[in-house]
């Protein structure tokens, strides 16, 4: 998986510019479009609940977390294989959930913990739509991929066989 072109592109091209990348790595809270864990999750993550979050660009999904050991996962939409909501009894009681994302191309699985359940549901819906769209666009522009079936209905089967 080649992430570097997405990172060095400008944000207008769907990538992540240097400022936003630095903010994703070092920042906390909702700046630069991040959806973050709500205050009620501080009982589970007292130091890093404001770091747990996600943001999207036209081409990428950014998932961040961690306090001492900060992590940032950068996943192209077209490489998303599945997104799941995980929530045990305590998380459900607090109205929280964890979003787990699996991507194509190896054993890459990443997650963002203790977000509001509605935020996770919205992320899953939006990411499923973005991933499907990105895969369609990628398939249309990749050389050597099969083309769509012929939809020309000007010849009926009987006419087609009569001309052969």
Residue 93: which H helix or E strand, with range? Answer: helix 89-94
For domain 4-143, which CATH number applies: 2.40.440.10, 3.40.120.10, 3.90.1150.200, 2.30.29.30? 2.30.29.30
- From residue 158, give the alpha-carbon distance in Å to each of 4, 150, 151, 152, 154: 53, 17, 16, 15, 12
Beta-carbon contacts of residue 148 (< 8 Å; ≥ 6 apart): none
Give tens-digit pLDDT for 112-164: 999 999 999 999 999 999 999 998 888 877 555 454 443 443 333 444 444 44
Domain spans of the chain, in order of start: 4-143
Check: CB of residue 41 under 8 Å from CB of residue 114: yes
Average pLDDT over residues 62-85: 90
Single out the residue of 7, 6, 53, 59 nearest to residue 31, CA to CA.
Answer: 53
């Amino acid at each position: 998986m080649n992430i570097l072109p997405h990172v060095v592109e400008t944000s207008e091209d769907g990538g992540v510019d240097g400022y936003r990348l630095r903010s994703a790595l070092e920042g906390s809270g909702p700046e630069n479009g991040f959806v973050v864990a709500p205050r009620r999750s501080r009982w589970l993550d007292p130091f890093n609940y404001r770091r747990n979050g996600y943001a999207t660009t036209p081409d990428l999904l950014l998932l961040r977390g961690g306090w001492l050991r900060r992590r940032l996962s950068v996943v192209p939409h077209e490489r998303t294989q599945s997104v799941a909501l995980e929530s045990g009894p305590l998380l459900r009681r607090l109205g929280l959930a964890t979003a787990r994302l699996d991507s194509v191309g190896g054993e890459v699985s990443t997650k963002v913990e203790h977000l509001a359940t509605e935020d996770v549901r919205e992320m899953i819906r939006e990411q499923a739509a973005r991933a499907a769209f990105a895969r369609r666009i990628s398939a249309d522009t990749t050389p050597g991929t099969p083309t769509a079936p012929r939809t020309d209905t000007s010849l009926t089967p009987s006419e087609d066989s009569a001309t052969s």
